[in-house]
Amino acid sequence: MGISKAMYSQGYCLTKGCKDYNQGTFLSGIEPTYICHRCNEVGRVKFEKHWPTRYDSLEFNQVRLEFAYWAPDDTFKNLFVVTDENRDKACNVWNIQTPNVKTEKIANKIATDALGFLQRGDRSIFEPNIIIRNSEIILDFDVPWPRLREDLDRLASTLGGSRLCVEHKKT
Ligand SMILES: [Zn+2]
């Protein structure tokens, strides 16, 4: 777990009838527009966003993570909240909106890890455009293999110097 200023986003096709409709494609860096590779129409770009509710307290007791992004409505369909019950109710809250998470299991892992990281009390989390992340979780391993391969290549070039490796075996 750590913090990053790298911007991650997904591009979505909004063309009804296109095979890639509402499918996310991992984009590296800041790309203002997304053109669907299949239908060539302009789609929608969604960034992952992290921010504290207040900028005056490092006492975090809650992480609220919005996930299950639905591109046609530009909304998140689910919210996962993790709270440290041992801390005071008046604590600070960290908010996350991420198009990179689809399941509650992953949402739970990210939110819990983020809360653990926040409770270390590192002031740098108040800097602009901070993302708390665990790099392996921004990949969606449920996508078809050629897409995952592309995502891995993009991620590897974004992270520069990192080694990403995944084994794929046909069953
Ligand atoms: Zn399309």
Q: What length does the chain have?
A: 171
Distance 20 CA to ligand 1 centre (A): 5
Q: Which two tokens stand for residue 96?
A: 């996350």
pLDDT in the model for residue 22: 94
pLDDT in the model for residue 2: 75
In this predicted structure, the answer to whether residue 69 has a pLDDT above a threshold of 70 is yes
In this predicted structure, the answer to whether residue 136 has a pLDDT above a threshold of 60 is no
Of the candidates 129, 111, 3, 135, the one whose C-alpha atom is nearest the C-alpha of residue 60 is 111
Query: pLDDT per residue over 159-168, tens digit each?
Result: 544 444 344 4
pLDDT in the model for residue 44: 94
Distance 18 CA to ligand 1 centre (A): 5
pLDDT in the model for residue 170: 47
Q: Is 127 exposed, middle or buried (0-12, 13-18, 19+ CB in 10 A)?
A: exposed
Q: How confident is the model at residue 54 (pLDDT cuts 50, 70, 90)?
A: very high
pLDDT in the model for residue 144: 75
Q: How confident is the model at residue 141 (pLDDT cuts 50, 70, 90)?
A: low
Query: pLDDT per residue over 87-129, tens digit each?
Result: 877 899 999 999 888 888 888 888 988 998 898 888 889 998 8
The answer to whether 59 and 88 have CB atoms below 8 angstroms apart is yes
Distance 8 CA to ligand 1 centre (A): 20
Contacts of 19 (CB under 8 A, 6+ apart): 38
pTM for the model stands at 0.76
In this predicted structure, the answer to whether residue 36 has a pLDDT above a threshold of 80 is yes
Of the candidates 60, 59, 76, the one whose C-alpha atom is nearest the C-alpha of residue 68 is 76
User: Residue 149 carries which side chain, given as an amino acid letter?
Assistant: R
For residues 26 and 154, give the distance between their C-alpha atoms in angstroms, rounded to a whole number.
Answer: 8
Q: Where are the alpha helices (DSSP H) in 83-136?
A: 104-118
Distance 17 CA to ligand 1 centre (A): 8
For residues 69 and 24, give the distance between their C-alpha atoms in angstroms, rounded to a whole number.
Answer: 9
Distance 16 CA to ligand 1 centre (A): 8
**Tokens 């207040």, residue?**
54
Distance 42 CA to ligand 1 centre (A): 8
Distance 15 CA to ligand 1 centre (A): 5
Distance 14 CA to ligand 1 centre (A): 7
Q: How confident is the model at residue 57 (pLDDT cuts 50, 70, 90)?
A: very high
Distance 154 CA to ligand 1 centre (A): 20
Distance 21 CA to ligand 1 centre (A): 6
Distance 46 CA to ligand 1 centre (A): 16
